[in-house]
Chain A
Amino acid sequence: MVIRRLVGRWQGMVLSLIGIVATIWLGLTGQLALYIHPRYFVFTVIMAVIAGVLALAAFALVPGANDAPDGGHTHAGDAHAHEHDGDDAHRSRWGWLRPAGSVLTIIAAVVALLILPPSTLTTATVAQRDLNGSASALTLKTPALPGKGDYSSFTVRDWASLLRSGAGQDFFADKTATVTGFISADTTDPNLFFVTRFVVTCCAVDAQPIGVPVYHPGWQNEFKTDSWVTVTSSFHANPNAASREAIVLMPDSIKPTTQPAQPYVY
């Protein structure tokens, strides 16, 4: 009974505090980018701080904060609410279900938001969402071609857009790309892998994978999927004419690297 009372009353507050602490910590350590688009950073942190102040004020001012046995009658809304959870008829037998569910929710929130290390999406999501299948991620922002030669600022997204736009081999002949991303395997050709990034428009939920194909037979022996690499190479025709990718990178060497601070592109 006491547990049910406590859980019913404080579940919302505790979940809020978990969310607030996690959000502010992500903001302070610069890891919010793993979950949401940078344009929301300021708003998210400000709302977390405001909510934190309100939550602490609620602990101080809302009666019952410290298990006071009285204090119920002046605030009927608070005192009654937990009594009427669910169907009264089922309370005796199934009454434990709701507090048990509440406790589970809190445990799940602690594990997900406070214990698990923040992480990017992985190749499991690349497989789930069609790589380079997204029209907007590639065409909404067609890169402006720089005047003569300097493509060093081009990202995976820019190159993937150009490749998809159907520019011919002549166009790529004299160009060198330097791209950083994580490795995802090509579904049909074992000699190919993609230097992959996710394009995020709002939060990780809408992330769309894009990638530049790299021809490197035996790459599986050197690298694991999901590991981050930087590839510098010029473009060539794919030796395997049957492959879906006509133009590929053929690097002499592939440099392993660490996950950048902003793993998604926007």
Chain B
Amino acid sequence: MALPAVDKRKQPEHEHGTPARALTSKSAAGLVVGLVLVALFAVVRVLAPSTSETFGLPNAARDFATLSISVVVESLPFVFLGIVLSIAVQVWLPEGMLLRRLPRSPVLRRLVLSLLGMLLPVCECGNVPLARGLVVKGLTVAESMTFLFAAPILNPVTIVTTAQAFGWNNGILVSRVLGGFFIANLVGWIYSRHPRPGELLTARFQETCNVADHDGGAAGRVRRSVQMFSQETRAMMPALFIGAGMAGLIQVAVSREVLVALGSNPVWSVLALMLLAFVVAICSNVDAFFILSFGATFMPGGIVAFLVFGPMIDVKMLALMRTTFTAKTLLQLSVLVALCAAVLGLAVNYGH
């Protein structure tokens, strides 16, 4: 299988006149463009006035900017890490190394995949590029969903922080871990029955899957890695920036007093906290501390719903996942996960 692939890659070079030289000068020109952009951005940043008074922005606008920037600065390294891991899985891991070792039975496969987050401690924003890479490598769409939804919860960092925040109180930790595990596998099972899983994906991402199977030597791999980086940033960056802007805007605009006021009712606490989780779009690694910091007024079921729903679906995640799944699929997923999380939360509230 390797031989024809190599041939395919080399052919175009023979067609063009003096490929090597043309390529080098092109590369140099591209590099110069990149460096000029970096220099330009750096100069703008250094020369920009340093006191906020000069802009006379009202406090709310300043906080909107600060909150949005904070989401970007916090998520950016995790997205890059996810992209790098995705490149590693797609280009540098021997073919089938990861996927071939999975069990054959679909149910068992999904069970194992939902534990993959244990080995790859990436935040949920980094999971999206990684899941895309896995789908290109041959993971089914349903399996990628299981991975996407389970990994942020069944993640060592998340489990440790949740344990630190809540200990064994009210079964919050257990409900979160088992609930997340169950919902992720349920979603995977439901979508594994979809007759044409390709339709769940955006046209653009389907295309990425189709072209991604040529291979080459080490030089070809470097080229492909870099190309993939460009491809993934093109999909992820606009989503991340827009998601961050929305998260910042909602935080400034929506009064949390109402949400907090609803927090002590067994039914409303679940719904209000799920809404809060959707709106704040906070990393699963630290959301336990975040929700703890809202005071002891919330019912445990509400907290569980927050901790299960938030890592799976929120404004930022929807923006990121939109790069891969169609809007219709995301709507279905959101409703499905929300229902499951609500049932889980209510069960915890009324079970005590």
Contact = CB atoms under 8 A, between A and B. Distances in A.
A46 B80 CA distance: 10
Contact of B67 (A23, A121, A135): A121
Contacts, number: 279
A35 B212 CA distance: 37
B99 interface: no
Contacts of A123: 59
A142 interface: no
Contacts of B208: 77, 81
B63 A121 contact: yes
A44 B34 contact: no
10 contacts: A19-B73, A32-B73, A57-B222, A61-B227, A65-B34, A116-B65, A128-B256, A135-B293, A205-B281, A206-B280
A36 B241 contact: no
Contacts of A81: 204, 207-208, 231, 234
Nearest to A120: B66
Given A44-B73, A80-B207, A135-B292, A66 B238 contact: no
Interface string B155-171: 00000000001000000
A115 B40 CA distance: 12
A119 B65 contact: yes
A202 B63 contact: no
Contacts of A116: 48, 52, 55, 65, 69
Contacts of A102: 238
Interface string B120-147: 0000000000000000000000000000
A78 interface: yes
Contacts of B211: 75-77
A65 B26 contact: yes
A25 B59 contact: no
B324 interface: no
A93 interface: no
B252 interface: yes
B30 interface: yes
Interface in B35-61: 35, 37-38, 41-42, 44-46, 48-52, 54-55, 58-60
Interface stretch (A8-16, A154-162, A235-243): A8-16
A196 interface: no
B57 to A, nearest CB: 8
Interface in B214-242: 222-223, 225-227, 229-238, 240-242
Contacts of B58: 124
B227 to A, nearest CB: 5
A173 interface: no
Contacts of A21: 38, 41-42, 45
Contacts of B281: 205
Contact of A124 (B50, B62, B165): B62
Interface string B70-94: 1111101110110110000000000
A108 B230 CA distance: 21
A213 B280 CA distance: 29
A62 B228 CA distance: 9
A18 B51 CA distance: 20
A132 B36 CA distance: 48
A11 B27 contact: no
A7 to B, nearest CB: 10
B93 to A, nearest CB: 18
Contacts of B255: 128
Given A61-B27, A65-B29, A117 B52 contact: yes
A112 B293 contact: no
A74 B13 CA distance: 10
Given A56-B31, A73-B12, A105 B41 contact: no
A257 interface: no
A26 B245 CA distance: 19
Given A17-B38, A21-B42, A135-B296, A105 B30 contact: no
A117 B49 contact: yes
B265 interface: no
A25 B47 CA distance: 12
Contacts of B285: 202
B316 to A, nearest CB: 10
Interface in A95-138: 102, 105, 108-110, 112-125, 128-130, 133-137
B51 A117 contact: yes
